[in-house]
Amino acid sequence: MSLTAQLTGGIEALGLTLPHETQVRLLQYLALIRKWNQVHNLTAVREPEAMLVRHLLDSLAVLPHVTGSRIADIGSGAGLPGIPLALARPEWHVTLVEINHKKAAFLQQAQIELNLKNIEVMVERVENFRPADGFDIVISRAFSDLTDFASLAGHLCAPGNVGGRLVAMKGVYPHEELAQLPAQFMVEKILPVTVPGLEAERHLVWIKQA
């Protein structure tokens, strides 16, 4: 199966509808990761088909569950999940926070090559990042455990009754991490997520200030 057909089938399996142009740009992004990976080791996943499932579809799988227009991707790395989300939702503003300079350079290059006008790259430690406005969703795919994520990134959530949410993308149900969550945070919900073509478990953990 071609990468194009695999992506189209995966998007349909997720219940999403994305324009052909967006799917083309998602594959261009994947090609860019593969190109940079030869020198900078952005990801341990090397096979294009596996990268499509474990990076693109894994990132897009959160789309049905996420709302809001201001998104922060913490420890963005190769831009996951932030860049797929920004490509799929051009009306959102996505901030990619990454302290590693080589990875941040890749993010800036991807922004240029993909003509992504709705992303911003912040080369800064998350705990030092103090934006003027809070975010609706502060998401992390591989940043740290839940305690560190909440402690270091909790201040980025928009305040108020509705307020922003921390969303951690996890594999198996994180029993131990949940037990260690600081008292000032509470788990709002935990959603199992199915990624087409991936056998492994996936969960989205939603955290809010208590």
Q: Kindly give the confidence (pLDDT) of every residue in the chain, 210 residues in length, as a single tens digit, with 9 standing for 90 and above.
A: 899 999 999 999 999 999 999 999 999 999 999 999 888 777 878 788 999 999 999 999 999 999 899 999 999 999 999 999 999 999 999 999 999 999 999 999 999 999 999 999 999 999 999 999 999 999 999 788 999 999 999 999 998 767 899 999 999 999 999 999 999 999 999 999 999 999 999 999 999 988
What's residue 44's pLDDT?
Answer: 74
Residues 6+ apart with CB under 8 A from 98: 75, 76, 77, 104, 107, 121, 122, 123
Q: Which amino acid, residue 194?
A: T
Domains and CATH numbers, the chain: 3-209 (3.40.50.150)
Cα gap 181→66, rounded to integer Å:
22
Residues 6+ apart with CB under 8 A from 109: 32, 36
Count the Cβ atoms, other than its own, within 10 Å of residue 210. Answer: 10
pTM above 0.75, yes or no: yes
Instruction: Give the burial string for 26-42 (b: 16+ CB within 10 Å, else e).
Output: bbebbebbbebbeeeeb
Cα gap 199→147, rounded to integer Å:
27
* Strand ranges in the chain using DSSP code E only, listed in sequence order: 70-74, 93-97, 119-122, 137-140, 165-170, 185-192, 203-209
Tokens (6 digits) for 148: 């560190």
Tokens (6 digits) for 171: 């594999």
What's residue 161's pLDDT?
Answer: 67
Cα gap 53→206, rounded to integer Å:
23
What's residue 160's pLDDT?
Answer: 75
Q: Which amino acid, residue 73?
A: D
Predicted confidence (pLDDT) per residue in 23-58, tens digit: 999 999 999 999 998 887 778 787 889 999 999 999
* Contact (CB, 8 A) for 171 and 198: no
